[in-house]
Structure 1
């Protein structure tokens, strides 16, 4: 693949071009302004975005944060991983995961952690192929928001 690159998505322009791709993963995000506002708040907690580009077009992205807890110690948590629907099959997700793994190791993390929906068999197959395994079952309870 000619002219490919992975780089952080830091600027407002980067967020604007990330929104349509992220929206494919998170369709409840209907407003670009709301998306940008959420990212700014999440950055305060260490959230970062990295994008995969081919010929200057964003084709995939990952949102992540470096964290530490009593279960895992230091780890890299992948919040978001999406390849543009038109670019699937180009190994972009694999490339991003490998880059995040390198970052995790360089940051002293012992593992990379992510969640995926129980019904998302396609993503589960992808993660198994990439060497990830199921290590926990997450429980949640949703509240009505005011």
Structure 2
């Protein structure tokens, strides 16, 4: 099944990811907006690993390699979602497994992701996959985000 996990490399593959990403990020109103954002983010190392089944994207993970003074080198998972109709088929677990291997190869010390405090289903999944809580993230919107 791992051969069904592929790094997204073409505009066509990226567009195929939009319907699944929209389930996680409903504020992305159009496919063009999604493509433009991902294109900008890719300049800063953002990548998408997609799970394909019968020619259709059924799950995906957006990620990047980063380094900071807290962890050192780490793999950050920005986005992780399985299409609603395919949940429970272990696509998320397979994506996390592949991302863990990517992080190991890149000599990362940690895989990190954030989830909403109220997202109990995702939290249960992450605990089951061996991820542990390590911090609370605080933030506030800035003027540019209020427009």
Match of 2:105 in 1: 106
Within a 5 Å distance, the mapping from 1:12-51 to structure 2 comes to: 12-51=11-50
Tell me the residue number matched to 1:53: 52
Please state whether the residue corresponding to 2:107 is helix, strand or coil.
coil
CA distance in 2, matches of 1:16, 1:26: 15
Q: Give the number of equivalent residue pairs.
A: 145
**Runs of at least 5 residues in structure 2 that lack an aligned partner in the other structure:** none
5+ unaligned residues in a row in structure 1: which ranges?
Answer: none
- In the TM superposition, 1:74-93 aligns within 5 A as 74-93=73-92
Q: What TM-score does the superposition give when structure 2 sets the normalisation length?
A: 0.95
Q: Give 1:143 shift.
A: 2.0
Q: In structure 1, what is the Cα distance between the partners aligned to 2:35 and 2:55?
A: 21
> Structure 1 CA distance, aligned partners of 2:114 and 2:137?
8
Query: Which whole-Å CA distance do the structure 1 matches of 2:63 and 2:3 have between them?
Result: 21
Task: Give the structure 2 partner of residue 139 of structure 1.
Answer: 138
Q: Tell me the alpha carbon deviations over residues 81-129 of structure 1, each in whole angstroms, 9 at most, x when there is no partner.
A: 0000000010000000000000000110011000000010000000000
Match of 2:124?
125
Deviation, 1:55, is 2.1
Whole-angstrom distance in 1 between the partners of 2:69 and 2:38: 26
- 1:15: how far off? 1.2
Comparing 52-61 with 110-119, greater Cα deviation is found at: 52-61
8 A Cα contact 1:4 1:55, kept in partner:
no
Over the residues paired in the alignment, what is the CA RMSD in angstroms?
Answer: 1.3
Q: What does residue 73 of structure 1 align with?
A: 72
